[in-house]
Amino acid sequence: MPTAFIVSFILFFWFNDAQAREVKSLLELRQKNVVVQKYDLSCGAAALATLFNYQHNDPIAERDIAIGLMSRAEYIKNPLIVRIREGFSLLDLKRFAEARGYQGMGYGKLSLKNLVEKAPIIVPINLKGYNHFVVFRGMYGNRVLLADPAWGNRTMLIRTFMESWLESPKLGKIGFVVNRGDGAAPATHHLVPSLDEFVMLQ
């Protein structure tokens, strides 16, 4: 068989195989199924939007949630409260979720095992001195997977995560889930992690 024919044959199948595979950039992979925040103090709104969009198939923008949260009387009277508190509270997120027809459930005294069972679940963490909301998606080996509104999908060593996970003086380690108001299962499973997602170690 002529060498030129063999080379052409290999190139033909390589080219067609390359066309069949979808190629995504690292940025696209990082931001897949995560609402990335566009404003300094809106991580709570973006984390909530991530659950609405990718757990419940309920399209809503971070901006719309932030505007809804800011419409409360206390924020209208004093908009600087958001900056003083470094963002919105879990109670704010609960009120918004319930006004949209969902059941917002806050939990206290949580363990890492509880998070895995309840995932996806919004948790407050402190990174580099800043309080921040992320969506805990799952755990594999010595890492957890987070949908981080400030970054996108990222993994973190369990030890680092546990040190960062904020603790309430009365309630211990806390988290917040959003369930459908009718008790039905989530509409989608986009936030259920796959093993190949545990790569963005930070």
Residues in contact with 140: Cβ distance below 8 Å, sequence separation at least 6, in sequence order: 193, 195, 198
- Catalytic positions are 43
* DSSP state at residue 22: P
Q: What is the pLDDT of residues 63-88, one digit of tens each?
A: 999 999 888 766 666 665 656 566 68
Q: For residue 175, is pLDDT > 90?
A: yes
Residues in contact with 47: Cβ distance below 8 Å, sequence separation at least 6, in sequence order: 35, 93, 122, 133, 134, 135, 147, 149
Checking DSSP bridges between strand 102-107 and strand 175-180, what pairing results, if any? antiparallel
Instruction: Say how many Å lie between the first and final Cα of the chain, rounded.
Output: 52
Q: What is the pLDDT of residues 28-60, one digit of tens each?
A: 878 899 999 998 789 999 999 999 999 999 999
For the chain, what is the mean pLDDT?
86
Model pTM score: 0.83
What sign does the dihedral 151-156-160-164 (CA atoms) show?
positive
Residue-level pLDDT at 7: 42
Residue-level pLDDT at 199: 73
Q: For residue 122, is pLDDT > 50?
A: yes
Distances (CA, A) of 57 to 7, 73, 189: 47, 30, 9
pLDDT band at 20; cut points 50, 70, 90: low
Q: What is the pLDDT of residues 141-169, one digit of tens each?
A: 999 999 999 999 999 999 999 999 999 99
Residue-level pLDDT at 26: 77
